[in-house]
Every structure is written in structure tokens, then in C-alpha cells.
Amino acid sequence: MSLPCGGDRLAVQTLVDLAVELETVGWDGVFLEDYLVHYRGDDPATYDPWLVLAAVAGRTSTITLGTGVTGLLARDPVKLAREALTLRDLSDGRVVLGVGLGDPGDRGASIHPLWDPDRPRGEQMDERLDLLLALLAQPDPRSSRVRVQPLEDAGGRVPVWVGGSSQAGVVARRAARAQGVLPYKLSDTEQWSDFTSDEVAELAGAVAAQRGAPGDLPGFDIAIGGRRRLASVAAERAAVDAAARGGATWWVEYIYPGSPDKMFEAVRRGPVRASSAVG
């Protein structure tokens, strides 16, 4: 389940309680958006996902915790790596870090942009992704690189999933350097279209080709979805099944900020999983 990181009249304690309820109901993961200023409302509350997830880590034991996604151009990669590694240790290794360019419409960018406006955004994204992956890499005794690990090997690796539009081929190139991909289909984020099985398989093939191992993606996650549930369980399961047939490993549902009652109602419906015939 993907949760907002803010919105009109959304209390931070509600977010924490929703995430705890997700584990109780049987969801596998909770992923928070990461905006500097949330996009819904004239003057919305906007919370730091890492502090929220740290609170959730103390009240849960099994659910995966992560962001979907953190905009790397609005974050210091060194601080981000330390936050992810600290949460990893707090949660006994239950962390996934989703990253991307970030929403260029994030109203918080005007407060203090952390990227160089005179250089291409994609170029700076690549530099920051390389640094982040190096900081999160498993220790190499032959390397003299300074590390930011809170504890030696505590909790294992923090997987990095790269988000972005599959219409922009660069997302496959970037994801090939990481441990997963959190794609959306259309580059026009005002619209939405679910992936077909063939489109998921095509994306997986593009990532594998970038890795130099066509058809081989061991241990690589493909997280598909990111919208509200369809009108019927049958329609939702058909979309989940299509993604699974293409090779997806996660299906992500989103809850828009709203009244606590409606948000808890959406959580308590429970996850729609792929049919047993699909796997």
C-alpha cells in the first residue's frame, strides 16, 4: 500500500496508525510518498516519511517499509543513505528505498532547490544515484571508501528501486544499476494506464539487457500499480494477474488523503493478490 505523506487535515498520527493497521490486516509493505510540499490542498500538512516510518518500525515486525519515491534531486544522497540505513537497523532489515527524479511540480522545490538549474536534471540524477548506490553497497574489505553504515552489516542490504515512466527508456538504464523498479506507464502523470503483461515483460527485458544478461533478473523486484483500487475486486485482480504474468513481483495500491474513516476502510479491505494459477 502506498500512503500519502500529507494533505489537507491529515494528521501524522493517522499515517502511523494506518501503517500499523496495514500489517494487522495482512498487507506486505507500506510505501510513503516523499514530497517537500504535498500536492493536495492550498496549505497542506507534509510529513517527513523517514520519521513516520521510524515510528511505524517500532510498532510493527513484518511489514516492509519504504518510500515511493524519494526525489533524489531534492535530497542529499549522503543524508538519505544514513536515514535508510538507520531505519534498516531499527526495523531489522525491512527497508526498501524508492528513488526517482521527483515531481517537477513539487511546490517545495521553490523553497530551497538542491540541484543546479543550469545543468540537465537527468545528469544530476545519475550522479546522485551512483553515489547513493555506492553508499548503500555491501562492504568490500578491499575498498578504502569511507562508509556511512551505522553497524557493520546489520540487517543486510537496503534495496534501491528506481521510479519513473517506462515511456522514458532511461528508467530501465537507471534501474539496471539498482535492485528494483517502481515504474508508471505514461510520462503524462495527469493520466493513468495500467501495464499489460507484455509491457511488464518488455520493461523487464530492457532492464536485463542493460545489465548485459538478457532474460535474467534474479533477485530484482518489479513493483507495478500505484493507483486507487478499481470498482470491483474482479477488475482489480485482472490487473494484478496481468502484471504478475509479465514478471511483476509487487502490486502497489494507493490511498488518497481523506477522512481517517475512509482511509482505514480502504486499508481494511485487504490486499488483492494474484490468482493462484498465476503464482
pLDDT category, 42, cuts 50, 70, 90?
confident
Q: Does residue 278 lie in a domain region?
A: no
Residue spans of alpha helices (H) in the chain: 12-25, 49-57, 77-90, 121-136, 170-175, 197-210, 233-246, 260-268
Q: How many CB atoms lie within 10 A of CB 234?
A: 9
Asked whether residue 274 is domain-assigned, the answer is: no
As a whole number, mean pLDDT of residues 213-226 equals: 90
Phi, psi of 242 (to 5 degrees): -60, -45
Residue 275 lies in a domain: no
Does 215 map to a domain? Answer: yes
pLDDT in tens, 94-144: 999 999 998 777 777 777 667 888 899 999 999 999 999 999 987 766 776
> Is residue 99 a part of any domain in this protein?
yes
User: What three-state secondary structure class fits 20?
Assistant: helix
115: helix, strand or coil: coil
Per the structure, the complete domain to which residue 124 belongs is given by 2-268
**273, part of any domain:** no
Q: How much is the pLDDT for 106?
A: 79
Question: Per the structure block, which three cell numbers stand in for 253?
Answer: 495500491
HSE-CB of 156 using CA atoms within 13 angstroms: 8
Within a domain: 7: yes
Helix (H, G, I), strand (E, B) or coil at 162: strand
What is the pTM (predicted TM-score) of this model? 0.94
Which residues have CB under 8 Å from 148's CB, separation 6+? 78, 81, 82, 85, 135
**The pLDDT of residue 5:** 96
Dist. CA 154–CA 279, nearest whole Å? 32
Please check the confidence at residue 162 and state whether its pLDDT lies above 80. yes
Q: What is the pLDDT of residue 148?
A: 72
- CATH number for 238: 3.20.20.30
Position 47 in a domain: yes
Distance CA 186, CA 165 (A): 6
- Domain count of the fold of the chain: 1
High-pLDDT (> 90) share of the chain, %: 72
| Cβ-based burial of 229 (10 A; exposed 0-12, middle 13-18, buried ≥19) | middle
